[in-house]
Amino acid sequence: MKVKSLIFCFLIALATNSLMAQVASDCINAVPICNNTPVNGGTQGYGVDDYNGASASGCLESPFNHPFIETNSAWYRFRTGASGQLGFNIGFDASEDWDFALYRAADCGSLGDPVRCNFFDNSDEESFMGVGEDPNGNPTTVLYEDWINVMPGEDYYLMINNFSNTNSGFSIQFTGDIFVTNPYDALDCSIINNLLGPPLAACDNESIILDATTSNALSYTWYSDTGAGFQIIAGETGPTYQPLVSAMYRVEVVTTTMTNIISDVQVAFSISPTTYSVPDETVCSDTMEFDLTQKDSQALGSQDPASFRVSYHSTQNDAILGINPLMSPHILGFGTETIFVRNTSLENPGCYDASEQFQLIVVETPVINFSTEVFVCEDSAGVLIGETTPEPDYTYLWDTGEATPVITVTQGGNYTLTITNNQSGISCSTSALITVVLSETPVITDVIIDDLQNNNTVEVITDVAGSFEYQIDNQAFQNSNIFTNVPPGIHTVTINDLNGCGSVSETITVVGFPSFFTPNGDGTNDYWHILGVSNLEDPMVYVYDRYGKLLKQLDESTLGWDGTFNGKEMPSTDYWFKLTYTDLEGQRIEAKYINNHFALKR
């Protein structure tokens, strides 16, 4: 009975030491690792101060009312076996706060400054921190440091520190392209001197073999501890053992030299996810982008979304390697795109399923390639509006009830055409509002002539609303209705409708005349006459009083009117005139648009 008690106590002590061996609180006892670790049982205490009383190391510093940098710490060491980009994820309960510092050093006595360090609190309740990229895809997290570029044979020490009131353990998951280029020797496992090797994080569909083969062995005894202490595994007496459940495992090897070897290892199985069938998705191109996360629930089925992460990739190889995930929302192209789905365990990213894919079918939404503002001339037979080069697979429907690509309209107003592409069980539509503007034939309402002789100005007036261009004689059309530096003589002004609804022309006469004259015999302004009539053929000027009585008739050779009628001086007042001349066809016409009154002053 006494011996049994002693043996039981011995086993319990070994179990306790074994559990603690997975988490070393001192740098000198740092746990050597060369692959992902399972979740450990947490950290307790800081052991011997590894920072020699220093108050800070890189970003780490001693907390308030605590003398050392370390609180509940764990030390690990690893050695790189290849060159490339290296990172790691430290996974933990989102309610806890952890810190870490990574040192490139050969031993604990010369740690130097950390090459990567993070001391941010976990106020956002993230579940990962580390080096590289957050596996949850959070690009704004403050708990991640930049990737580190490594070379073969470099030694690193990793200190992980708990800074919260709760402490339920953590796991370490290595990442980086170094594991793509060198999947089997990215980390050097020769640093592991434990007979059973480092802690093992495995998937529940993997076969794990623990190998304790020793050349001078007499017997092997295997134990497991699932939480109640180590118990002998009945019938297991060979050099290897295949664990099937998560536990601490121990082997006791009795050798010919009677020097027993006891070796422990932690094995943790993570549930390997299953990706369920994801149905194809058909969308219209005008949506521009597609939210891939809405497919997560289909891929997960009844699996807990808090335990698995679904990502989407453009190639099967990317999905298998878990690289180059597509961003969501995903920018749409045209046609059919194959999306590959990866379902990954957050506890152990090595457990994944990339067996499913789906088609993202993008149906083109019709594009409006015709004018949505059309002009129709008054009194015309109408104008065609709509799509003149229709797609044979599209349907067309007007708000007027017509179902043709184009219709003829004679009235101004708004018309709506809906174009629909029916493909792959989806209808993608575009509606175009076409505004038809009734354009009137231009009319010259008035021509204002500012007769200054040296710089005559002509302004063409119309009371018709529309889009017009203006011309004088054979000069180029212009947007402005004002012409300057117009020489005296006969001119033709034209208004042209830019919408093709006709033009109108008018012949005008540009001459000059004094606005008043003073026939007082002083030799200045004693006569009134129109200036510039010499540019006209057979001009004739008629002067009238306000009652229309003809007072004087002037031709080209006449000196002018002296302000008398039948030898009698006419009173100071306004007088009117008209100008006639012979046109190119020999017709006598009256000049239009002349400001035909002037004043007599005595």
pLDDT value for 350: 86
Which CATH number does 373-439 carry? Answer: 2.60.40
**Is 443's pLDDT higher than 80?**
yes
Per-residue burial over 564-602, b = 16 or more CB atoms within 10 Å of its CB, e = otherwise: eeeeeebeeeebebebebeeeeeeeeebbbbebebebee
pLDDT tens sequence across 148-165: 999 999 999 999 999 887
CA atoms within 13 A on the CB side of 101: 21
pLDDT value for 453: 62
Supply the mean pLDDT for the chain. 89
Position 595 confidence tier, pLDDT thresholds 50, 70, 90 = low
pLDDT tens sequence across 63-75: 777 788 998 899 9
- How confident is the model over 248-272, as a mean pLDDT? 89
Asked, colleague to colleague, whether 23-191 and 373-439 share their fold, the answer is no
**Is 122's pLDDT higher than 60?**
yes
Give the global pTM: 0.58
**Is 20's pLDDT higher than 70?**
no
pLDDT value for 452: 63
Count how many residues are written for the chain. Answer: 602
- How confident is the model over 244-248, as a mean pLDDT? 92
Q: Which CATH class is domain 200-268?
A: mainly beta
**Is 11's pLDDT higher than 60?**
no
Percent of the chain with pLDDT over 90: 62
Looking at CATH, the fold of the domain delimited by 446-510 is given as Immunoglobulin-like (2.60.40)
Position 402 confidence tier, pLDDT thresholds 50, 70, 90 = very high
**Helix, strand, or coil here: 321?**
helix
Higher local confidence (pLDDT), 440 or 58 = 58
pLDDT value for 586: 87
CATH of range 516-600; options 3.40.50, 2.60.40, 1.10.3470, 1.10.3300: 2.60.40
**Is 327's pLDDT higher than 70?**
yes
Domain regions of the chain by residue span? 23-191, 200-268, 281-363, 373-439, 446-510, 516-600
Looking at CATH, the fold of the domain delimited by 23-191 is given as Jelly Rolls (2.60.120)
Position 509 confidence tier, pLDDT thresholds 50, 70, 90 = confident
* Segment holding 418, helix H or strand E: strand 413-423
**Is 26's pLDDT higher than 60?**
yes
Position 541 confidence tier, pLDDT thresholds 50, 70, 90 = very high
Sign of the CA dihedral running 524, 529, 530, 536: negative
- How confident is the model over 562-585, as a mean pLDDT? 92
Contacts of 206 (CB under 8 A, 6+ apart): 269, 272
* Angstrom distance (rounded) from CA 374 to CA 411: 11
**Is 297's pLDDT higher than 60?**
yes
* Segment holding 318, helix H or strand E: helix 316-321
pLDDT tens sequence across 171-226: 899 999 998 899 889 999 888 878 998 888 899 999 999 999 999 999 999 999 88
